[in-house]
Structure 1
Amino acid sequence: MFFNSLAFAVFLPIVFFLYWFVFNKTKSSQNALLIVASYYFYSCWDWRFLFLLVFSTFLDYYTGIRIEKSEKESDRKFWFWLSIGVNLGFLGVFKYYNFFASSFAELVTGVGFKASPLLLEVVLPVGISFYTFHGLSYVIDIYYKRIKAEYNFVDYSLFVSYFPLLVAGPIERATHLLPELKVKRTFDYNQAKDGICQMIWGLVKKVVIADTCATYANAIFDHYPSMNAASLILGAIYFAFQIYGDFSGYSDMALGMSKLFGLELLRNFNYPYFSRDIAEFWRRWHISLSSWFRDYLYIPLGGSKGGLWMKIRNTFIIFVVSGFWHGANWTYIVWGFLNAVYFLPLLLSKSNRNNMDTIQLKWNFDSVKVIWSILCTFLLTCVAWVFFRAKTVTDAVAYLKGIFTNGKFASQYLDNERYNYELLVMIALFVLIEWNSRSKVEPLSGKRNGLKLALAIAAIMAFGTFSDYKEFIYFQF
């Protein structure tokens, strides 16, 4: 069930009505309803994997209590590593086993031996990377005594399986979401109105921007050997806006619909393509994942407190692991490694904490430098996105090579229902709208938004009618 599907357009109003008019007496009844709705939502993908979600939930719930109750440090460590091991074990088997088996077979074959690896023919459980990280952060926080264990199984189950964030984030923290689930919510008209506006803008990003760009990005990447340099450049730009509109659009919809239920989720995007360097980009892109790796991997490894070598080592570890988190393919690992390389000069010059403010342009030379920095950062990001999108590292290298060797920079017609020039105008308009709203949560927020809301709905209806690309990119992670 997709957020942009007719089935969800029926599902959400029913849950909303039951939540506020039938199960509104206590927080327990509200949470119970959301649990049932979340399990139904997840079972629509594949009901068999619902048992995996429930088992993972019970495992972390039980081990969290055992860690808190254990008096001996050895017992605490046992339950802690049991939870970590089982969670990462499930993730490893379903997501990474075939990758490691195939890579090992290729390595053995490369040195002259024959290998026939036993591969698993299983579908990757949707959202497993997200709900696994929810549970891991919860158990880690209990072990280090940052929070108390949650004894109410319904409340904890909802924290893990809450349907707006279940399959593609943001990655919530128990320190943030659980306190909200422990109290009864009351309906707030202004909060709900803001939520609807945020959902609609999320749909604009997904249906109007991401799905339209996907038509051309897919055509160019799938036939890149026959594309000229101009088309290859456009393909990288189209994919950059596709993945941004797709993923940030999903996050906006998740945050927006949560406001309908009186809940505030963590912000996951903050206009990342207006970043002035790669460090700022990663403070603005997929914020919940970046902060997760910072708090649960980078800092435990020593963070920035050690010597220069330790800082460099830790930086490459978190970027490469972040890439591997996205998928079992060398393309994601190279993507993460490349971002670490981008980050390295900032680390060495101790300028990675610059650009913490909101961009303000004036008519002076400094503003020219700011715009140049934004364009350069976007260019570096697009180069990295080529590896993220390509099927293999070889394809990505060939794609980038083609930009410099595949002839003239002339417009090249693609046999699709939409045209390059109109799409470029639409992207430019989208960038202007976001730039004008960069200090807001989203462009439809604030006063006097009736006309903007009407135009957004009209755009969704117009483009949604012809859109043939429905899935969200991050569902595969």
Structure 2
Amino acid sequence: MLFNSLDFAVFLPIVFVLYWFVVNKQLKYQNILLVVASYVFYGWWDWRFLTLILFSTIVDYAVGLALSKQENYSKRKILLWISIIVNLSFLGFFKYFNFFVDNFVQAFSFFGKEIQPNTLNIILPVGISFYTFQTLSYTIDVYKRNLEPTRNFISFAAFVSFFPQLVAGPIERASNLLPQFYIKRQFNYNKAVDGLRQILWGLFKKVVIADNCANVANAIFEGYESYSASTLLLGAVFFAFQIYGDFSGYSDIAIGTSRLFGFDLKQNFAFPYFSRDMAEFWRRWHISLSTWFRDYIYIPFGGSRGTKRNQIRNVFIIFLVSGFWHGANWTFIVWGVLNAMYFIPLLLLNKNRLNTNVVAEHSLLPSVKELLQMGLTFSLTVIAWVFFRAESVSMALHFLYRTANSSLFTIPQIRPTDLLIFLLIFITIEWAGRRDFYAIERLWFKYPKPIRLFVYYTIAMMIFLYGGRTQEFIYFQF
């Protein structure tokens, strides 16, 4: 079920009314309703894959209980590996089986041996990368004794399948989200209004910015061999805004929807395109995934401790894993390597923690230095996004090669004036709200309520009037 669909527009009010007006007096029934609603939400896409979520839930719940009763180190290790193997086996089969088979065949073909592989027509279950990592974090935290295992199966099932963030995050830690299922939720008008405001901004990002950028970016990438360098650059920039509007828009809708039901999720995007270096960018982009890799892979490998050689190795590991997590294609591996290469100079110069505050924190506009830093960081990011968007590494390289000629300084062949105006408005609003949790959280609070309502209605009208063709969220494929 898509957030930007009529189905969800009907589904959400029904669940909201049942949650607050029918089962609101019993916490257990509220949690049961959330489990049922979440399974309906997910099953709307393909009900057959509900068994995967249920099986993963049962395995990790049972492993958590077993860990609570087991003190022997070796046996605790075995229990942890049961959870890891079960979860990653599902993820590996559905996401990477054909990738490994195809590359195995190509390797043999390189040496002159032709083999006929047995590949499968595998459908990738939506959100499997997200809820797999979410349940794994629970088991790992229980194993490390950083979290008490739950004995409430309904609460745990609700945590695993919670529909607002089930299929594209944020990837919530059990330590933050799971305890919220234990306590009685009281309806909070201000929290609900704030949630609606964030949903509104998320929808604007998705249907006005991302979907319209997608129309232009797709046309340029699909016919890139016939366009000028300036047009290709425009397509790459539009894709950068497409993926940001699409994914951060989903996160905004997910977080806002959660607030309607009394839950607080972590921030997943903190205005990453205003970053002054690539280290700052990765602290602000897909925060829930970046911190997951940091805490469960990077730090256990040694993190920033040890020799520079080990630090460089750890950076490459984390970005390679990040690239591979995104998909079974060499383009994502190259994208990960490229980001590692961006990051390593900052690490070697001990400048990876240089920019931890908000850019132009105490001024209206950035300094010339900050503007140049943001421009360079955004440019590097756009180059990396070309590999993320391209169908193959060779296509990405050819695309970038074609941007390096004199036609880069000509007028683009495609000039979507309306979209450029929308982007300018969007960037201005994001800049003005960069100090907050999301752009319009408190942006017009100093003005009278009628003015604020006028702004919100204007955003809503833009969503209805200028929304692009309804498209799935990009990260559904991951």
TM-score category (smaller protein):
over 0.9
Partner of 2:133: 133
Q: Residue 451 of structure 1: which of 448, 451, 454 is its match?
A: 454
Q: Residue 438 of structure 2: which of 435, 442, 447 is its match?
A: 442
Is 1:7–2:7 an aligned residue pair?
yes
Mapped to 1, the partners of 2:470 and 2:339 lie a distance apart of 28
* C-alpha deviation, 1:116, in angstroms: 1.8
Structure 2 residue matching 1:104: 3-state secondary structure? helix
The one-letter code sitting in structure 1 at the alignment partner of 2:81 is W
Contact 1:194 1:445 in 2 (8 A): yes
* C-alpha deviation, 1:367, in angstroms: 1.1
Structure 1 stretch displaced more, 361-370 or 25-34 = 361-370
Normalising by structure 2, we get a TM-score of: 0.96
The one-letter code sitting in structure 1 at the alignment partner of 2:418 is E
Structure 1 residues 75, 451: closer, same or farther in 2, change over 3 A? same
The one-letter code sitting in structure 1 at the alignment partner of 2:439 is P
* C-alpha deviation, 1:412, in angstroms: 4.0
Mapped to 2, the partners of 1:143 and 1:177 lie a distance apart of 18
Structure 2 residue matching 1:407: 3-state secondary structure? helix
The one-letter code sitting in structure 1 at the alignment partner of 2:294 is R
Structure 1 residues 364, 291: closer, same or farther in 2, change over 3 A? closer
Partner of 1:344: 344
Mapped to 1, the partners of 2:363 and 2:305 lie a distance apart of 40
Contact 2:207 2:463 in 1 (8 A): yes
Q: Residue 424 of structure 1: which of 420, 425, 431 is its match?
A: 420
Partner of 2:474: 473
Contact 1:67 1:76 in 2 (8 A): yes
Residues 29-428 of structure 1: pairs in structure 2 closer than 5 A? 29-360=29-360, 367-405=367-405, 407=407, 409-414=409-414, 419-428=415-424
Structure 1 residues 361, 147: closer, same or farther in 2, change over 3 A? closer
Mapped to 2, the partners of 1:365 and 1:266 lie a distance apart of 28
Contact 1:63 1:139 in 2 (8 A): yes
Structure 2 residue matching 1:32: 3-state secondary structure? helix
* C-alpha deviation, 1:471, in angstroms: 0.8
Contact 1:126 1:476 in 2 (8 A): yes
Partner of 1:461: 464
Mapped to 2, the partners of 1:290 and 1:443 lie a distance apart of 21
Contact 2:268 2:288 in 1 (8 A): yes
Contact 2:228 2:413 in 1 (8 A): no
Mapped to 2, the partners of 1:409 and 1:456 lie a distance apart of 35
The one-letter code sitting in structure 1 at the alignment partner of 2:72 is K
Structure 2 residue matching 1:267: 3-state secondary structure? coil
* C-alpha deviation, 1:422, in angstroms: 2.4
Structure 1 stretch displaced more, 369-378 or 400-409 = 400-409
Contact 2:56 2:87 in 1 (8 A): yes
Give aligned-pair identity as a percent: 55
Q: Which runs of 5+ in 2 are unaligned?
A: none
- CA shift digits 1:320-345 (9 cap, x unpaired): 10010000000001001100000011
* C-alpha deviation, 1:144, in angstroms: 0.7
Mapped to 2, the partners of 1:273 and 1:453 lie a distance apart of 24
The one-letter code sitting in structure 2 at the alignment partner of 1:267 is Q
Structure 1 residues 397, 175: closer, same or farther in 2, change over 3 A? same
Structure 1 residues 365, 163: closer, same or farther in 2, change over 3 A? closer
- CA shift digits 1:247-300 (9 cap, x unpaired): 000000000011100000011000000000000000000000000000000000
Structure 1 residues 224, 46: closer, same or farther in 2, change over 3 A? same
Contact 2:4 2:470 in 1 (8 A): no
Normalising by structure 1, we get a TM-score of: 0.97
* C-alpha deviation, 1:386, in angstroms: 0.1
Contact 2:361 2:435 in 1 (8 A): no
Structure 1 residue matching 2:439: 3-state secondary structure? coil
Contact 2:429 2:440 in 1 (8 A): no
Structure 1 residue matching 2:262: 3-state secondary structure? coil
Contact 2:283 2:290 in 1 (8 A): yes
Mapped to 2, the partners of 1:364 and 1:188 lie a distance apart of 33
The one-letter code sitting in structure 1 at the alignment partner of 2:159 is F
- CA shift digits 1:35-91 (9 cap, x unpaired): 000000000010000011100110111011112211322221111111101111111
Structure 1 stretch displaced more, 363-372 or 91-100 = 363-372
Structure 1 residue matching 2:407: 3-state secondary structure? coil
- CA shift digits 1:205-261 (9 cap, x unpaired): 001000000000000000000010010000000000000000000000000011100
* C-alpha deviation, 1:405, in angstroms: 3.5
Contact 1:211 1:470 in 2 (8 A): yes
Contact 2:320 2:333 in 1 (8 A): yes
Mapped to 2, the partners of 1:184 and 1:440 lie a distance apart of 28
Structure 2 residue matching 1:196: 3-state secondary structure? helix
Structure 1 residues 412, 60: closer, same or farther in 2, change over 3 A? same
Mapped to 1, the partners of 2:260 and 2:366 lie a distance apart of 42
Q: Which runs of 5+ in 1 are unaligned?
A: none
Mapped to 1, the partners of 2:64 and 2:333 lie a distance apart of 32
